[in-house]
Amino acid sequence: MKEIYLDRIADKELELRLEAFGAVQILGPKWCGKTTTAIRHANSVIKMQDPDKRVGYLETARTKPSLLLYGEAPLLIDEWQVAPSLWDAVRHAVDERNKTGQFILTGSTVVDSHEIMHSGTGRISKMPMHTMSLFESLESSGEVSLKELFDNPSYDIDGARSTLSIEELIFAACRGGWPASLRNMSDNAKLLIATDYLNIICEEDISRVDNTQRDATLARLILRSYARNICTLAKKSTMLADITVEREGTSLSTFDSYISALEKLFVIDDIPAWSPAIRSASSIRTSQKRCFTDPSIVVAALGATPRTLELDLNTFGFIFEALCMRDLKAYSQSMGGRVSYYHDRYGLEADAVLHLNDGRYAIIECKLGSRDIDEGAKHLLELKSLIQRKNEEMGRNALRLPDLMIVLTGGEIAYTRADGVKVIPIATLRD
């Protein structure tokens, strides 16, 4: 039976980038759907890892890579990174043809810059792609548009409803946004996708990514420590101490090597700090917030299950935040969104600060339960007030006030509070 393709947020952006650039590189974790989406926009395809053709493709890439670039445009070159010389060949072909929409490149690892001669700036556009958001997996009602929230001050969200119970939300996080997990199969089978993903990363990919032999057991320990500290500001030294309980003698340089490999594989995706000039520099935390590309990686690394998390909502609260980060990145992508966080030593925080490329931004708290909404709103209002006071001290609006204050929840109904804070169930949000 032919599988049904679920529309991706990346579809429209890929169309736009192909209209503007000669080539588009789609970046993201393996199994997130890059190739499937790219094929829908390509008129010809070369799969570099096709076992029947791989040897010939690699030999051609070594001797005359331009021979692999013939085909009806857009030509998709899948897993191009196995032959890095193709990058410069594509860049050159784009210059020679002087046409847009010629090539699509997909791959699941970052290629070191020394393996290519030119950056491809202006010729090859880099487009990130995430695992599926709740809206893409048809689990968010999509009644609240992030774009409308920014663009339309009178946009009414009151009464928008989530149809996900807390148990269903937990399952969605445990299953993750892997397209394969949405096939018609049992729930237990769906949960195996993330577990298998983790196993392959640890046993194979972490060594293949840069041709450095690494230990699968140590990789699992590092991922587990990361999972234990998900969405926190845990220091490397703290995680290393956690690891050395079971693997004595692990050095910081070894730890860094494994982290670097996991970043190249798009497994780890830490959140940077936002450091506006509203406190002394020493007051604002600048370390990165620990995060994975998909909440299911946390669950798999911890060996958790939907049932254990139903009984431990405190732990699920951190996993819920990781889910919110994934969806915010996906929904804001077409607006040039980037996500950071704010935290200072006085306890004032915003779990996420969503910046758009035109300077607008939202400050966001992620609160799973309704009992914590007041606390989240309080943090956001205090942060806004702090920015206002700083502007008054300077006698000018040095820093733009937040355009939106949002508390994302696992609850049922969206509404706007009297203080202007918008309370939005994550399962009502869309791009």
With 90 as the cut, is the pLDDT of residue 109 above it? no
Query: Domain check: are 423 and 337 in the same one?
Result: yes
What pLDDT, on the 0 to 100 scale, is given for residue 1? Answer: 47
**Residue 127, both tokens:** 């487009």
Give the model's pLDDT for residue 112: 62
Q: What does the pLDDT read at residue 334?
A: 87
Task: Give the contacts of 125 (CB within 8 A, at least 6 positions apart).
Answer: 17, 20, 21, 23, 24, 25
Q: Is 209 exposed, middle or buried (0-12, 13-18, 19+ CB in 10 A)?
A: buried
Cβ atoms < 10 Å from Cβ of 203: 14
Give this prediction's pTM. 0.94
C-alpha 313/C-alpha 371 separation (Å) is 13
Domain boundary among 128, 153, 169: 128
- Two tokens, residue 201: 């990363």
pLDDT > 50? residue 12? yes
Tell me the per-residue pLDDT of 224-243, one tens digit each, with 9 for 90 and over: 999 999 999 999 999 999 99
188 domain residue, yes or no: yes
What average pLDDT does this structure show over 55-69?
93
Confirm whether 133 is domain-assigned.
no
Considering the domain boundaries, does residue 2 fall inside one? no
360 and 240 within one domain:
yes
Residue 118: the pLDDT is 65
Residue linked to tokens 């699509």: 104
What DSSP designation does 347 have?
S
Q: Assess contact for 228 and 238: CB atoms under 8 A.
A: no
Q: Phi, psi at residue 425, to the nearest 5°?
A: -60, 135
Structural domain of 239: 144-430
Per-residue confidence (pLDDT) for residue 125, from 0 to 100: 95
What mean pLDDT comes out for the span 259-280?
A: 93
Same domain, 110 and 191: no
* Position 277 confidence tier, pLDDT thresholds 50, 70, 90: confident
- The pLDDT-based confidence of 122 (bands split at 50, 70, 90) is confident
Residue 315 pLDDT class (50, 70, 90 cuts)? very high
Euclidean distance between CA atoms 339 and 372, whole angstroms: 22
Residue ranges with strand state E in 28-67: 44-47
Are 16 and 336 contacting, i.e. CB atoms less than 8 angstroms apart? no
Whether residue 18 sits in one domain with residue 103: yes
Query: Which of 128, 155, 189 marks a domain boundary?
Result: 128
- Let me know whether 156 and 110 are in one domain: no
The dihedral built from the CA positions of residue 193, 199, 200 and 201, taken in this order, carries a sign that is positive
The answer on 172 and 114 residing in a single domain is no
CA–CA distance, 399 with 401 (Å, rounded to integer): 6
- Rounded to an integer, what distance in angstroms lies between the CA atom of residue 16 and that of residue 33? 18
Distance of CA 238 to the CA centre of its chain: 24
**Portion of the chain with pLDDT greater than 90, in percent:** 86
Say whether both 41 and 189 belong to one domain.
Answer: no
272 in a structural domain: yes
Number of domains in the chain: 2
Task: Produce one character per residue of 13-41: b if its CB has 16 or more CB atoms within 10 Å, e if not.
Answer: bbeebbeebbbbbbbbbbbbbbbebbeeb
Same domain, 246 and 181: yes
DSSP state of 397: -
Closest CA to 325 of 374, 265, 384, 272: 272
Q: Are 249 and 396 found together in one domain?
A: yes
Residue 286 lies in a domain: yes
Most confidently modeled range among 98-112, 278-292, 346-360, 390-404: 346-360
Q: Residue 108: what pLDDT? A: 80
pLDDT band at 36 (very low <50, low <70, confident <90, very high): very high
Q: Is residue 32 part of a domain?
A: yes
Calculate the average pLDDT of the chain: 94
Which of 66, 98, 128 terminates a domain? The answer is: 128
- Cβ contact 275:112 at 8 Å: no
Q: What is the pLDDT of residues 139-192, one digit of tens each?
A: 999 999 999 999 999 999 999 999 999 999 999 999 999 999 999 999 999 999
- How many Cβ atoms are within 10 Å of 222's Cβ, its own excluded? 28
Determine, yes or no, domain membership for 135: no
The CATH number given to whatever domain includes residue 68 is 3.40.50.300
Q: Is residue 222 one of the residues assigned to a domain?
A: yes
Same domain for 114 and 180, yes or no, is no
203 in the same domain as 178: yes
Band of residue 280 on the pLDDT scale cut at 50, 70, 90:
confident
Co-location of 122 and 158 in the same domain: no
Average pLDDT rounded to a whole number, residues 325-333? 97
